[in-house]
Chain A
Amino acid sequence: GAVVSQHPSRVICKSGTSVKIECRSLDFQATTMFWYRQFPKQSLMLMATSNEGSKATYEQGVEKDKFLINHASLTLSTLTVTSAHPEDSSFYICSARDPRGDQPQHFGDGTRLSIL
């Protein structure tokens, strides 16, 4: 079964709205989570690394004030797209590292964000 739950799976909203996406590790404590963005027919681009209890580390070119990441607990990280615009429409995927296992990351099923 899924070990990382991402919610919502799809959201459609008006331009200017802020949207929050949740990523939960279901049966392990994830000290590190990752947020990716995927454009149609393209690869995943790492946006930021989220560490529990500390500030996220953003990749070059990713606006920190635009994409707010909070990792307040060992099982939950949130990505908030603030004042979203049509160019923010994309597929966002989170992943979480299980320190117990031999896989580097477990991926959520993604969130399809559409800004009208």
Chain B
Amino acid sequence: AQSVTQLGSHVSVSEGALVLLRCNYSSSVPPYLFWYVQYPNQGLQLLLKYTTGATLVKGINGFEAEFKKSETSFHLTKPSAHMSDAAEYFCAVSENQAGTALIFGKGTTLSVSS
């Protein structure tokens, strides 16, 4: 069975500050890991994903995440927050890329203040 834990349901940062959203996973098989962003009343947009290979993954909008197997973590970071980054962020795990439904964490709301 797979599961995802997102530490911190709400993170607040100032514009220009570092963004760090935490995600830990549990999986009995090598995981595929994803970060999605959701704006109000919208669906999910993929930020980045880890499948195999390089453990530091770069995504859209300046976000990146590092897969650390020893820590079972896949934390999302961005060096400098923008106001437009304010949204809900979901970490998700899948057993494979072929179509198995994603298991989502509970989400983290990111607030950015000026």
Interfacial residues, chain A to chain B (CB-CB below 8 A): 4, 6, 9, 32, 34, 41-44, 46, 49, 91, 93, 95, 97, 99, 102-105, 107-110, 112
- Flag B6-31 by CB within 8 Å of A: 1 or 0 each: 00010000000000000000000000
Who on chain A is nearest to B105 by CB? A43
The smallest beta-carbon distance between B62 and chain A, in angstroms, is 20
Cβ contact within 8 Å between A43 and B106: yes
State the CA gap A54–B44 with chains docked (Å). 26
Please report the C-alpha to C-alpha distance between residue A102 and residue B100 in the assembled complex, in whole angstroms. 13
Name 14 A/B residue pairs within 8 A (Cβ), A-sorted.
A41-B107, A42-B107, A43-B104, A43-B105, A43-B106, A93-B44, A102-B97, A104-B34, A104-B98, A104-B100, A104-B102, A105-B99, A107-B45, A110-B43
B109: chain A residues at CB < 8 Å are: 41
**B84 in contact (CB, < 8 A):** no
**Is the CB–CB distance between B107 and A34 below 8 Å?**
no
Would B42 and A109 count as touching, CB distance under 8 A? yes
Cβ contacts under 8 Å, A42 to chain B = 106-107
Flag if A107 contacts B99 (CB, 8 Å): no
Of A95, A99, A105, A109, most B-chain CB atoms within 10 Å:
A105
A105 touches which of B9, B102, B103, B105 (Cβ 8 Å): B102
